[in-house]
Amino acid sequence: MARRGRLIPGRNPAGDRKAIGASTPRPGADPVQENTDNMKHSISHWTRDTALAVHDLPLMDLLYRAQTVHRETFDPNTVQISRLLSIKTGGCAEDCAYCSQSARNGANLPASKLIEVERVVAEARKARDGGATRFCMGAAWREPKARDMDTLVAMVEGVRALGMETCMTLGMLDDSQVKQLSNAGLDYYNHNIDTSERYYSDVITTRTFADRIETISRVQEAGIKVCSGGILGMGEETGDRIDMLVTLANMAPPPDSVPINMLMPQANTPLADAEPIDPIAFVRVIATARILMPRSYVRLSAGRSEMSDEMQAMCFLAGANSIFVGDTLLTAENPEEDSDAVLLAKLGIQAECPEERTCAEATA
Ligand code: SF4
């Protein structure tokens, strides 16, 4: 039977973490411990140095610390399961170097139209019956057009009516679009920062890092939870990975959900021949994310199909507690659902279930 409830009772102050201020470690104090302690009191001010000190701990110490932090807020044997549906594929005006949906890259993925609300709701129902608690809808857009907003609102309302959490990723949003989605009850908005501010322009030139932060701020101000993370293996340096995590951790509040993707090189994109990231380096970033953002869901996102069972288990040990299921993530491959169910069963990990409904027996 799937476990009910997602957080250890009495240990989840997520609802009262809004007053986040800056804190500088006391002179002579252990900056790693100091910042970890501060996080328990909803204060976050990580610097590259303090975050790097976490990241560079001996691996066993890092994993121990990450798992300890993880257990203070979350059930360590539960993962949140999301399913992602592409509601509009290809033909995107942006030039994200990792993406086969960009019209500017050479992948030539055909552009589709926004799909019908009925199809979205039918897919969400299937996802719910298969154990997913959150349904994410992604459109390959620079930003939504005014004419699409009514359809997007109907999608949110239809999926919410199934008792699922809703998430959308639609590109940049203006104030009025945020308001419409908020009024429809959208739970999460995904807008990844992708990498560090320094490395960002090596990956994307059609919008700035500041544009991304602005959309995230708008979404947060409207009370919609934020899902934001990035991609590893795009040629960035360790310092870029750390800076990306520091940017996320110092948001007020940090994102509720932090997807960490491993680049899945897509044919004919500028990053088609990118060197794969070392698995231990990937695990270090997961553990660092867990310590810097102890109350956020850290999601293993794209790239799982290239990870061994052992690597995924290590990521869960490091504090990852959310996954996408389904055969494809927009256009990148994802593990087959059967293999997810087998892996989670082997690890004794169960699907998180919101209190308000009974979840399916299946774990994935
Ligand atoms: S990642 Fe999103 S915004 Fe960037 S090109 Fe792909 S679909 Fe467009």
Burial class of residue 142 in the structure, from the number of CB atoms within 10 Å of its CB (0-12 exposed, 13-18 middle, 19+ buried): middle
Asked if residue 157 belongs to a domain, the reply is: yes
3-state secondary structure labels for all residues of 219-259: HHHCCCEEECCEEECCCCCHHHHHHHHHHHHCCCCCCCEEE
pLDDT along the chain (364 residues), means of 10: 36 33 45 55 78 98 98 94 90 91 80 93 91 89 94 96 94 95 96 97 95 96 96 97 98 95 92 94 98 96 91 97 73 70 93 59 36
Q: Is 92 a pocket residue for ligand 1 (Cβ < 6 Å)?
A: yes
pLDDT of residue 359: 47
Dist CA 315 CA 321 (whole Å): 9
Dist CA 297 CA 320 (whole Å): 7
Which atom of ligand 1 lies closest to the CA of 105? 5
φ/ψ of residue 122, rounded to 5: -65, -40
Structural domain span for residue 302? 70-351
Dist CA 99 CA 111 (whole Å): 13
Asked if residue 190 belongs to a domain, the reply is: yes
- Give the total number of structural domains in the chain: 1
Asked if residue 31 belongs to a domain, the reply is: no
β-strands 257-262, 230-232: how paired? Answer: parallel
Dist CA 162 CA 135 (whole Å): 10
Burial class of residue 3 in the structure, from the number of CB atoms within 10 Å of its CB (0-12 exposed, 13-18 middle, 19+ buried): middle
- What the block records as the tokens of 248 is 């996320």
99 an active-site residue? yes
Q: Separation of 29 CA from ligand 1 center, angstroms?
A: 43
Q: Is 192 a pocket residue for ligand 1 (Cβ < 6 Å)?
A: no
96 an active-site residue? yes
Active-site position among 17, 92, 212, 290? 92
207 an active-site residue? no
Q: Is 271 a pocket residue for ligand 1 (Cβ < 6 Å)?
A: no
Concatenate the DSSP letters of all residues of 156-194 into one string.
Answer: HHHHHTTT-EEEEE-S---HHHHHHHHHHT--EEE---B
pLDDT of residue 361: 39
Which CATH number do you get for residue 198? Answer: 3.20.20.70
pLDDT of residue 189: 96
Dist CA 48 CA 62 (whole Å): 17
Q: Is 102 a pocket residue for ligand 1 (Cβ < 6 Å)?
A: yes
Spacing of C-alpha 240 from chain mean position: 18
Asked if residue 142 belongs to a domain, the reply is: yes
Q: Separation of 269 CA from ligand 1 center, angstroms?
A: 12
Q: Is 171 a pocket residue for ligand 1 (Cβ < 6 Å)?
A: yes
198 an active-site residue? no
Q: Whose CA is nearest to atom 7 of ligand 1?
A: 140
pLDDT of residue 29: 55
Q: What is the DSSP letter of 217?
A: H
299 an active-site residue? yes
Q: Is 130 a pocket residue for ligand 1 (Cβ < 6 Å)?
A: no
315 an active-site residue? no
Specify whether the CB–CB gap between 26 and 231 falls below 8 A.
no
Q: Where are the beta strands (DSSP E) in the chain?
A: 78-88, 134-139, 165-169, 188-190, 225-227, 230-232, 257-262, 297-300, 322-325, 328-329, 332-333, 350-351
Asked if residue 216 belongs to a domain, the reply is: yes
DSSP β-bridge partners for residue 208? none
Burial class of residue 327 in the structure, from the number of CB atoms within 10 Å of its CB (0-12 exposed, 13-18 middle, 19+ buried): exposed
Q: Is 106 helix (H, G, I), strand (E, B) or coil?
A: coil
Asked if residue 36 belongs to a domain, the reply is: no
Which atom of ligand 1 lies closest to the CA of 330? 7
Q: Whose CA is nearest to atom 4 of ligand 1?
A: 96
Asked if residue 14 belongs to a domain, the reply is: no
pLDDT of residue 16: 33
pLDDT of residue 337: 67
Asked if residue 33 belongs to a domain, the reply is: no
